[in-house]
Structure 1
Amino acid sequence: MEKWGASLFGDPCGGCGFQWSLSPREAIGVVEGLPARFRGLLAGRTGFERHPDLGWTPAAYVSHVTDNLRNWAERLAGARLSGAVDVPGYDPDLVAQARHYNEIAPGAALWSLEHAVEAWAASVSAALDEGVVLRHATRGVQRAEDVARNNAHDGHHHAWDIERILRDTQPEVPPTRL
């Protein structure tokens, strides 16, 4: 079985400090706060800043979080509505390549995230109420509460990545006219 969650990242997460002990409903709150958090981080920035240690721009991280939320919302809905509990893994780098994450306009990425969060919160809430359990191809059993925490960590961790990018780069300042 693939290590995931706290067993992979540590508790708290060694990078972003995420605490895995939060309740599933608290995890939903973390995800629901992501659009405002990301919008605040990108305020006054281009969204295309780069960090030498990271392959994605801030807007690309927003797009990844969006796609990850959509993916898991769909998987939980599939289990709940159709009984499809067996789910495969996916390669986020291939998705990024196919969608050209580093070229997505930041405003569009933020708009898309808002819609993905709404659908995700509804899907996760319903899955929690119904006790949905997925069988992931490489992670094994993933209960709805595991998905809620994992997705909250993903968003929180990538907000930390964006903070790292923006801390180490300066916004473009227009030249001063004399």
Structure 2
Amino acid sequence: MELWGARLYGNPCRDCGFGWSLSPREAVGLVEDLPARYGALVKGRRGDERHPELAWNIAAYISHVTDNLRNWAERLAGARLTGVRQVPGYDQDLLAQARSYNDVCLAGAVWSLQRAAEAWAESVSAALEEHVVLEHADRGVQRAEDIARNNAHDAAHHAWDIERILAYTDQSTGS
């Protein structure tokens, strides 16, 4: 079984400091606030800024978070609406390659994140009310609460990645 969540990243996350003890409703609130948080982070930026230790640029990280939110919203909605609980894993790097994340326009990425966060919050809230449980091919049992926290962590962690990119590029350019 694939390690995930606090078992993989630590509690709090040893990189971004995310605390896993937040309630599922707090996780939903964190994701609902993402577009504003990310928008403030990237205001006045191009989106192609990079850090040498990271594979993706700013627009790519936003695109990844957007796709992750959409993916899990869809999976939870499918289970809630049909009772089909089995879900496959997916390869984020193959998806990034297929969608050319590093070439996505920053404004488009932020626009898409807004819509994905709204759909995710709606889907996760309904799944929480109905106590939806998925059977993930690699992670095993994933309750709606687990997914809410895992997705909130993914978003917080990648905000931290974007902050690292910005600090690096600001230092490199003397801004």
8 Å Cα contact 1:66/1:113 also seen in 2:
yes
In structure 2, what is the equivalent of residue 43 of structure 1?
43
Q: Structure 1 residue 44: deviation in Å?
A: 1.5
CA distance in 2, matches of 1:172, 1:127: 45
In structure 1, what is the equivalent of residue 156 of structure 2?
156
CA distance in 2, matches of 1:17, 1:58: 20
* Higher alpha-carbon deviation: 123-132 or 43-52: 43-52
1:17 counterpart letter in structure 2? G
Gaps of 5+ in 1: 174-178
Q: Structure 1 residue 170: deviation in Å?
A: 2.7
Partner-residue secondary structure (3-state), 1:138? coil
CA distance in 1, matches of 2:171, 2:58: 13
Residue 70 (1) aligns with residue 75 (2):
no
Normalised TM-score (structure 1): 0.95
CA distance in 2, matches of 1:58, 1:36: 15
1:91 counterpart letter in structure 2? D
CA distance in 2, matches of 1:172, 1:8: 32
Partner-residue secondary structure (3-state), 1:64? helix
Alignment of 1:51-70 (within 5 A): 51-70=51-70
CA distance in 2, matches of 1:133, 1:43: 38
In structure 2, what is the equivalent of residue 95 of structure 1?
95
Normalised TM-score (structure 2): 0.97
CA distance in 2, matches of 1:165, 1:39: 15
8 Å Cα contact 1:133/1:144 also seen in 2:
yes
Residue 138 (1) aligns with residue 113 (2):
no
CA distance in 1, matches of 2:11, 2:57: 27
Residue 22 (1) aligns with residue 22 (2):
yes
In structure 1, what is the equivalent of residue 82 of structure 2?
82
2:8 counterpart letter in structure 1? L
In structure 2, what is the equivalent of residue 5 of structure 1?
5
Gaps of 5+ in 2: none
8 Å Cα contact 1:45/1:171 also seen in 2:
no
Q: How many residues align?
A: 173
State the identity %. Answer: 69
1:107 counterpart letter in structure 2? A
CA distance in 1, matches of 2:6, 2:103: 32
TM-superposition CA deviations, 1:67-88 (whole Å, max 9, x none) = 0000000000000001110000
CA distance in 2, matches of 1:117, 1:3: 25
In structure 2, what is the equivalent of residue 127 of structure 1?
127
The root-mean-square deviation of aligned C-alpha atoms, in Å, is 1.3
8 Å Cα contact 1:46/1:171 also seen in 2:
no
